[in-house]
């Protein structure tokens, strides 16, 4: 049994290692900076200098050290003739001789930190977890796995890290990843996985950490093709924005679905029933038919003057070209160029036969631009734009009727058709749903660049057309699909993951449930689970390991006054505070809090810049969050105001309430004057 003096000496040794590791990381960054400063002088040309500069700049950003974030969080000591110990941290740190001081948590040897157990020690004699306060090492816990000793969720350090107050953006979970989460994180790049995650099970963190792991394991491949994280709104993306940089990954794109469909400026708004129809997968068939109808069979021979020569291509040969290209089913723009190239090839054969020599490349290019050839191509395979195709479909009743025959009813066609068509494509007031149709049309016209990997969060709320848009951007890559069917709030929200995966082009991808929660206290989970039978989704109930936390359900008369009182009470505790209410009431409660002298941020507009940027996190602990923007966020103390109003605000209001109730990490207060909409 080690003495107190022994333990103090061990802690001091670990603190020295931490200090030495931080110093080594600083030297690594300094060397990268020196290379950046001299890169332009050693590069062979301007392009090489720019490429080197971009790479070194990313390297410098990845080596930034936050003194308040522990550089390592664990240590593995392996059994065997030669005892080896490795510190496990957020990034790889080496000394001046290149020897590792901290191993990146993604390294193969580090997998044992997450997977080893008393029944399967995987060669680990001792697993050590470190406790920190800010950036200061305060203690450690040892699990002697070789002796059958394992703390599991009884670990004080593990529990303290999970229950640490949530202030500011979402943080990484590298110190607390559980075995089932780790298996998902380390899934091979080639695999698409779908995670059905109950509230608080860490599904978002799993997706982000999988992105970080794949970038580590397939750096060069993903550097070329890229990694994309797709979230439901900008508020959510701001919330998760610090996770990957904290893990040393700074080259990951983030976007909402609406931002990806960015070919046109969105200025219009569709009625709900029209928007729902435009999001329907049948629109893809209608667009494909409309595009196909643009292709015509030749009706006359092709005659081309070439100086003193005249070349002719019979109409039958031209029809064979068009028919062959149609059967090949290339993207429309590719098909148009194939028709042109094959017509020119027939002209070239005639020229070779008559002249006895092969024409030059310049001659071939000139034939492609010949007015007669251009006229032929424009007739049989007209040049189109995505905007033009959608414009023609929505403004021309006859064209819409032809493309939608047997697919959309007459009533649905009437809903789609513009009653007062804009005069030109440029004057059209496109809606967000129109932007999806235009993106679909763009995918029919030409190939879309493909990412190596896409992480899609809150996927249960994506429509078939939104899913198809993502599938086009991941044609040659893989996806991590994250969501919870119980949290589906969109009009087209999925009830079965198989349907979602089919629209993504991955119908056979595995669906993996995560049901054990670490974020939401058990009392809060039990309250939310009461809603599950009313949501008509086949998902298992969440189970929480959290036995701390509090739940208060308070009937009140004056909701604004009660909200102020509840916030004042919450301010006596550490951590973030959110007042979540129906969207229409955000201004009411924001004003009430500010009038009472409580600084409160309002996140009413998720497209706006982060609110109150000049106010520190410490001073701005309170946010008033509209219910429609609460998804994916978490707060230490959540005050839900008038659940009945949240439910009545939208058709899937009970699903929305399920989301809202599960945002609390430590404490949940429910204030209501109307009867609670709970079974």
pLDDT at residue 54, rounded to an integer: 61
Confidence of residue 477 (pLDDT cuts 50, 70, 90): very high
Q: What is the DSSP letter of 91?
A: S
Smallest Cα–Cα separation from 462: which of 506, 507, 494? 494
Distance CA 212, CA 227 (A): 10
Q: Hey, CA dihedral for 243, 244, 250, 253, is it positive or negative?
A: negative
Q: Is the pTM of this model over 0.95?
A: no
Hey, which residues does 483 pair with through a beta bridge? 196
pLDDT at residue 46, rounded to an integer: 58
pLDDT at residue 153, rounded to an integer: 63
Question: Based on the number of CB atoms within 10 Å of its own CB, is 356 exposed (0-12), middle (13-18) or buried (19 or more)?
Answer: exposed
Q: What is the mean pLDDT of residues 478-494?
A: 95
**Residue 370 token pair:** 């010949």
Q: Specify the length of the chain in residues.
A: 679
Helix axes 432-445, 386-395, angle to 10 degrees: 120
**Residue 90 token pair:** 């957020």
Q: What does the H/E/C string look like for 522-589?
A: HHHHHHHHCCHHHCCCCCCCCEECCCCCEEEEEECCCHHHHHHHHHHHHCCCCCCEEEEECHHHHHHH
pLDDT at residue 413, rounded to an integer: 97
pLDDT at residue 616, rounded to an integer: 44
Total Cβ atoms within 10 A of residue 585: 21
pLDDT at residue 406, rounded to an integer: 96
Distance CA 110, CA 86 (A): 9
Distance CA 627, CA 652 (A): 12
Q: What is the mean pLDDT of residues 334-362?
A: 92
Distance CA 584, CA 316 (A): 66
**Residue 667 token pair:** 């404490």
Distance CA 142, CA 203 (A): 28
610, HSE (Cβ side, Cα atoms, 13 Å) = 13
CA angle 351, 354, 357 (to 5 degrees): 65
Residue 436: partners with Cβ closer than 8 Å, 6 or more residues away = 261, 278, 279, 463, 465, 466, 469
Q: Hey, CA dihedral for 658, 660, 663, 667, is it positive or negative?
A: negative
Q: What is the DSSP letter of 592?
A: H
Q: What is the pLDDT of residues 528-562, one digit of tens each?
A: 999 999 998 888 888 887 778 899 999 999 999 99
pLDDT > 90 in the chain, percent: 67
Smallest Cα–Cα separation from 345: which of 356, 355, 359? 359
> In Å, what is the CA distance from 138 to each residue of 7, 14, 15, 69, 556?
11, 10, 9, 13, 44
> Which has the minimum average pLDDT: 238-252, 408-422, 459-473, 501-515?
238-252
Smallest Cα–Cα separation from 475: which of 456, 496, 454, 461? 454
Output phi, psi for 640, to 5 deg.
-95, 120
Mean pLDDT of the chain: 89
Distance CA 428, CA 656 (A): 34
Distance CA 490, CA 461 (A): 5
- For residue 611, pLDDT beyond 70: no
- For residue 609, pLDDT beyond 50: no
pLDDT at residue 218, rounded to an integer: 94
> Which has the minimum average pLDDT: 11-25, 83-97, 195-209, 592-606?
592-606
Q: What is the pLDDT of residues 169-219, one digit of tens each?
A: 777 788 888 899 999 999 999 999 999 999 888 899 999 999 999 999 999
CB of 665 within 8 A of CB of 634? yes
> Which has the minimum average pLDDT: 122-126, 164-168, 380-384?
164-168
Q: What is the pLDDT of residues 507-530, one digit of tens each?
A: 999 999 998 887 888 999 999 999
- For residue 432, pLDDT beyond 90: yes
Q: What is the mean pLDDT of residues 249-262?
A: 91
Q: What is the mean pLDDT of residues 62-78?
A: 82
pLDDT at residue 607, rounded to an integer: 38
Query: What end-to-end distance do the CA atoms of the chain give, in Å?
Result: 54
Distance CA 296, CA 319 (A): 9
Burial 221-260 (b: 16+ CB within 10 A, else e): ebeebbbbbbbbbbbbbbbbbbbbbbbbbebbebbbbbeb
Q: What is the mean pLDDT of residues 570-590?
A: 95
Smallest Cα–Cα separation from 299: which of 325, 324, 319? 319
pLDDT at residue 44, rounded to an integer: 52
Q: What is the mean pLDDT of residues 345-358?
A: 90
CA 241 to chain centre: 11
pLDDT at residue 270, rounded to an integer: 95
pLDDT at residue 556, rounded to an integer: 96
Q: In a 3-state reduction of DSSP, which class is residue 672?
A: strand
pLDDT at residue 83, rounded to an integer: 75
Confidence of residue 48 (pLDDT cuts 50, 70, 90): low
Distance CA 350, CA 432 (A): 51
pLDDT at residue 62, rounded to an integer: 66
Output phi, psi for 122, to 5 deg.
55, 35
- Helix (H) / strand (E) containing 675: none
CB of 542 within 8 A of CB of 515? yes
Confidence of residue 613 (pLDDT cuts 50, 70, 90): very low
31, HSE (Cβ side, Cα atoms, 13 Å) = 9
SS3 content of the chain, % helix, strand, coil (to 5): 45, 15, 35
**Residue 390 token pair:** 């959608």
CB of 453 within 8 A of CB of 214? yes
Q: What is the pLDDT of residues 304-344, one digit of tens each?
A: 998 888 999 999 999 999 999 999 999 999 999 999 999 99
CA dihedral 104, 107, 109, 115 (to 10 degrees): 90
pLDDT at residue 151, rounded to an integer: 81
Q: In a 3-state reduction of DSSP, which class is residue 625?
A: strand
Q: Which of 139-153, 239-253, 463-477 has the highest mean pLDDT?
A: 463-477
- Gyration radius from the chain CA atoms: 30
Q: What is the DSSP letter of 124?
A: E
Helix (H), strand (E) counts: the chain: 27, 22
Q: What is the pLDDT of residues 107-153, one digit of tens each?
A: 999 999 999 999 999 999 999 999 888 778 888 999 999 888 888 76
pLDDT at residue 610, rounded to an integer: 40
**Residue 325 token pair:** 């290209």
Strand 84-89 to strand 72-78: parallel, antiparallel, or no bridges (unpaired)? Answer: antiparallel
Helix axes 282-292, 432-445, angle to 10 degrees: 50
- For residue 485, pLDDT beyond 60: yes
Distance CA 476, CA 465 (A): 19
């Amino acid at each position: 049994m080690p003495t107190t003096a022994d333990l103090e000496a061990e802690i001091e040794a670990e603190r020295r290692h931490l200090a030495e590791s931080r110093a080594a990381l600083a030297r690594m960054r300094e060397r990268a900076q020196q290379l950046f400063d001299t890169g332009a002088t050693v590069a062979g040309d301007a392009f090489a200098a720019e490429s080197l500069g971009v790479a070194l700049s990313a390297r410098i950003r990845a080596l930034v050290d936050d003194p308040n974030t522990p550089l390592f969080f664990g240590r593995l000591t392996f059994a065997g003739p030669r005892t080896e110990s490795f510190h496990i941290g957020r990034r790889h740190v080496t000394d001046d001789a290149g020897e590792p001081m901290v191993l990146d948590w993604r390294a193969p040897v580090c997998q044992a930190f997450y997977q080893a157990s008393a029944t399967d020690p995987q060669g680990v004699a001792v697993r050590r977890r470190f406790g920190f306060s800010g950036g200061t090492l305060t203690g450690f816990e040892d699990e002697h796995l070789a002796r059958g000793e394992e703390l599991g969720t009884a670990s004080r350090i593990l529990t303290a890290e999970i229950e640490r107050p949530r202030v500011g953006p979402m943080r990484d979970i590298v110190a607390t990843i559980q075995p089932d989460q780790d298996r998902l994180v380390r899934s091979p790049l080639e695999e698409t996985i779908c995670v059905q995650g109950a509230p608080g099970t860490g599904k978002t963190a799993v997706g982000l950490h999988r992105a970080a792991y794949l970038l580590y394991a397939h750096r060069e491949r993903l550097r070329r093709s890229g990694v994309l994280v797709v979230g439901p709104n900008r508020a959510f993306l701001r919330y998760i924005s610090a996770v990957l940089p904290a893990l040393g990954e700074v080259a990951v794109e983030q976007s909402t679905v609406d931002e990806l469909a960015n070919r046109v400026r969105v200025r219009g708004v569709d009625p709900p029933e029209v928007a729902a129809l435009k999001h329907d997968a049948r629109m893809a068939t209608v667009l494909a038919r409309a595009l196909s109808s643009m292709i015509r069979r030749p009706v006359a021979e092709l005659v081309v003057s070439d100086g003193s020569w005249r070349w002719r291509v019979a109409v039958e040969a031209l029809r064979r070209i068009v028919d062959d290209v149609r059967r090949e089913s290339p993207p429309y723009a590719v098909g148009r160029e194939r028709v042109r190239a094959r017509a020119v090839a027939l002209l070239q054969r005639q020229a070779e036969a008559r002249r006895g020599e092969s024409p030059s490349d310049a001659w071939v290019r000139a034939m492609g631009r010949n007015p007669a050839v251009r006229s032929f191509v424009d007739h049989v395979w007209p040049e189109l734009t995505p905007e033009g195709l959608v414009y023609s479909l929505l403004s021309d009743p006859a064209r819409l009727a032809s493309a939608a025959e047997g697919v959309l009813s007459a009533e649905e066609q009437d809903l789609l058709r513009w009653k007062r068509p804009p005069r030109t494509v440029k004057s059209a007031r496109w809606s967000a749903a129109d932007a999806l149709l235009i993106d679909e049309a763009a995918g029919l016209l030409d190939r879309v660049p493909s990412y190596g990997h896409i992480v899609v969060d809150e996927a249960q709320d994506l429509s078939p057309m939104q899913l198809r848009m993502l599938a086009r951007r991941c044609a040659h890559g893989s996806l991590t699909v994250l969501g919870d069917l119980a949290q589906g709030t969109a009009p087209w929200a999925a009830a079965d993951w198989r349907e979602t995966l089919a629209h993504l082009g991955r119908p056979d991808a595995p669906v993996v449930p995560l049901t054990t929660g670490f974020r939401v206290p058990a009392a809060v989970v039990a309250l939310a689970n009461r809603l599950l039978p009313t949501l008509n989704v086949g998902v298992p109930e969440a189970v929480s390991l959290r036995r701390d936390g509090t739940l208060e359900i308070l009937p009140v008369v004056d909701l604004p006054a009660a909200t102020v009182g509840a916030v004042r009470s919450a301010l006596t505790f550490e951590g973030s505070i959110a007042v979540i209410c129906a969207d229409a009431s955000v201004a009411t409660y924001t004003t009430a809090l500010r009038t009472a002298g409580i600084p409160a941020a309002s996140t009413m507009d998720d497209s706006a810049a982060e609110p109150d940027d000049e106010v520190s996190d410490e001073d701005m602990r309170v946010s008033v969050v509209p219910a429609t923007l609460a998804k994916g966020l978490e707060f230490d103390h959540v005050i839900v105001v008038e659940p009945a109003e949240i439910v009545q605000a939208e058709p899937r209001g009970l699903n929305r309430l399920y989301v809202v109730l599960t945002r609390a990490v430590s404490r949940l207060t429910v204030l209501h004057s109307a009867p609670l909409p709970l079974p």
